[in-house]
Chain A
Amino acid sequence: MSDVLVRARGLQVHFPVRARGLRRRRTGEVRAVDGVDLEIRRGETLGLVGESGCGKSTLGNALLRLVEPTGGRVEFDGTDVTALRARELRALRRRAVMVFQDPYASLDPRATVGQTVAEPLRVHGLHPGAAARAARVAELLELVGLDPAAAPRYPHEFSGGQRQRVGIARALAGEPDFVVCDEAVASLDVSVQAQVLNLLRELQQRLGLTYLFVSHDLAAVRHVSDRIAVMYLGRVVEVGDADAVSTRPQHPYAQALLSAVPLPDPAAERRRERIVLRGEVPSATRVPSGCRFRTRCPRAFAPCPDVDPALQEAEPGHRAACHLHGVVGTPVPAEQRGPA
């Protein structure tokens, strides 16, 4: 058994951009995920950070094949997910699940909490029979710290944190191996967010879960992750041990991102040097040639427009896609090179 549970190779998700009008002519594409190589190890939490529009949620969706990749492949436990047919896909849906951001939008307001949690059991034919299912629902509610007696109640009777627990119970119903948490604590208040983060960790230890923790909140990611991957404009630009990435970021984008995170420590805030980036993130329909960060990079130099940097080791177990660590990557054909 390989120690890698999920592997993406050259993964691409491109969305067509179409003109208005009857013919809906294809005028371009949004390169939301644009050549991602990533490994998620069994039992670990990989944190995936990046700013709005960097493609982190699309990547999470593509790993579960909730959106169809347009290129590259995804392997789950050695199987090529991109080639699965409907029946096999259903088996994947039991083993690889998602916890969504908004516990208000992701629960059916007209279904009781018990029905919501029981739904995956019905779909996958687990614990057949009403009594067995009810027993399993009670067990799941208890697992996430809710009173099993709450099963007949409706989502509106619960607070945001409790609803998120329901979402987690539903995700865990089929005894999955892999859970994508997409901004799973983003809409919760700090005091409640801590409860849910603690719960996720406890469940990981008890059930041996593997997490992809997708978030814009670097402090939360740092807290839960074993390793961290940083995304920019559809590409993973840095990945490594959580301590290393958060204390010694190697890619200039990761350095700027980390320096911008406000610290809840007034003295540290006053000492701090911020790297303030110039300009705006380019559109994912017009990705710069070579290194996609070069248009905003304070340290861009000659090879950046001409060679698309590959992830390479900056220190053991810590990789960055930046020419400052040696010019390695795919040369850009001369006619596609943009201005430096």
Chain B
Amino acid sequence: MSAGRTGHAGRAGDAQPVLEVQDLRVELDTPRGTASIVNGLSYSVAPGETVAVVGESGSGKSVSVMALLGLLPAHARVGGRALFRGRDLLAMGEPELRQVRGDGIGMVFQDPMTSLNPVLTVGRQITEGLLAHGRVAGGRQARERAAQLLADVGLPDPRAALGRFPHELSGGMRQRVVIAIALSGDPALLIADEATTALDVTVQAQILELVDGLRAEHGTGVVWITHDLGVVAGTADRVLVLYGGRCVEDGGVDDVFERPAHPYTQGLLGALPQLHDGPGGRRSELVAIAGAPPPPTDLPPGCVFHPRCPVRGDERCALEQPPLVPVALGARPDGTAVPHRAATFHDTAPGTGGAGS
């Protein structure tokens, strides 16, 4: 096994990252004051690797990727660096970004209806990008390629689908079209923001399988933004847990799920109803986290989670921001090493001491 879950050549630890985000910051002026939405986020994505970014509403997960793609309103203040194949996305002008967005980075957002143009046929929306980026010689070849892409994403009768309008397709089929468009530029990096959230679970399963197959085949790096921990467990090699615009924990997916080190991650996993509770398990109380996430205009000082933290903190939690530091040697599902890190002053990690993993 290799970078990623199945068979792509090259190990994640060794390969040159497709994307390297360094100290990303996003601020926005609002009527209620300055909102600090992303506060120093750093991560990298190797070819063929799936990195999941999880968090609740207001954690900054969506804004962090929109910043990379230059999709935020002009008055947003974006800081840090984001190297895509060695070039800083945040320093690029609009023409350059436009080139990268269609031809190197593919994007899939939550609602396929807002990503697609309702008055253009599906075929036109795919061929437009192919022609604009000079990937095909002419209209005829573009249509051939478009039909092939639709077949790749599993749309039944792809030739007929080229002549359809988005409203004639179901939600799952529309999201397949969006993925076909994202893949039309043979992207090195695919960014999926809540891409399956609006879909039913059976359709979600089809889409997850599809994206994972493409990742394994082409060695695409994938950034998967979601609030759904189940989706993360099934797709990710590595996980970043965001809270209040900061990464509070990251590591290999098994390490984070089986030995969560940050009280927030522990809380999230404890709050989750389980499908496979043991008999009578349903009578057990869910361990809820008290309160609600802080608004980005009013982040608490110190550790962002301390006002809701169930672990009795000392004054330090309220005053000092805990750095993201390694709590254990960790690994991806393929066995390659990746540190398991958490930003907490508490030594709460079950198993970090003696479990030897």
Contact = CB atoms under 8 A, between A and B. Distances in A.
Contacts, number: 144
Interface string A256-287: 11111111111111100010110111000000
B282 A263 contact: no
A87 B345 CA distance: 62
A216 B201 contact: yes
Interface in A240-265: 242-243, 246-247, 256-265
A264 B257 contact: yes
Nearest to A226: B282
A222 interface: yes
A191 B244 CA distance: 14
Interface stretch (A97-105, A135-143, A194-202, A314-322): A194-202
A153 B172 CA distance: 41
Nearest to B234: A269
B205 A274 contact: yes
Contact of B201 (A192, A194, A261, A267): A261
A160 interface: yes
A246 B275 CA distance: 7
A211 to B, nearest CB: 13
Contacts of B268: 190-191
Contacts of B267: 191
Contacts of A247: 276
A264 B272 contact: yes
A262 B272 contact: no
Interface in A193-238: 193-195, 197-198, 201, 216-220, 222-225
B61 interface: no
- Chain B contact-residue range equals 35 or more
A201 B250 CA distance: 34
Interface in B276-292: 276-277, 279, 282, 285-290, 292
B27 interface: no
B274 interface: yes
Contact of B282 (A217, A223, A268): A223
Given A161-B292, A190-B229, A219 B275 contact: yes
A320 B315 CA distance: 58
Interface in A154-181: 159-162
Nearest to B228: A262
A243 B206 contact: no
A161 B254 CA distance: 30
A330 interface: no
B200 A216 contact: yes
B202 A256 contact: yes
A243 B230 contact: no
B275 A190 contact: no
Contacts of A280: 170, 172-173
A222 B56 contact: no
B274 A160 contact: no
B205 A266 contact: no
B282 A225 contact: yes
A264 B274 contact: yes
Contacts of B236: 266
Contacts of B56: 189-191
B202 A51 contact: yes
Interface centre among B236, B258, B267, B292 (most CB of A within 10 A): B292
Contacts of B296: none
13 contacts: A52-B200, A190-B272, A191-B289, A197-B273, A216-B200, A218-B201, A222-B273, A223-B274, A246-B275, A258-B275, A260-B205, A270-B333, A277-B202
Give 7 closest A-B pairs by Cβ, nearest first.
Answer: A262-B230, A223-B273, A194-B271, A194-B288, A191-B289, A51-B200, A189-B56
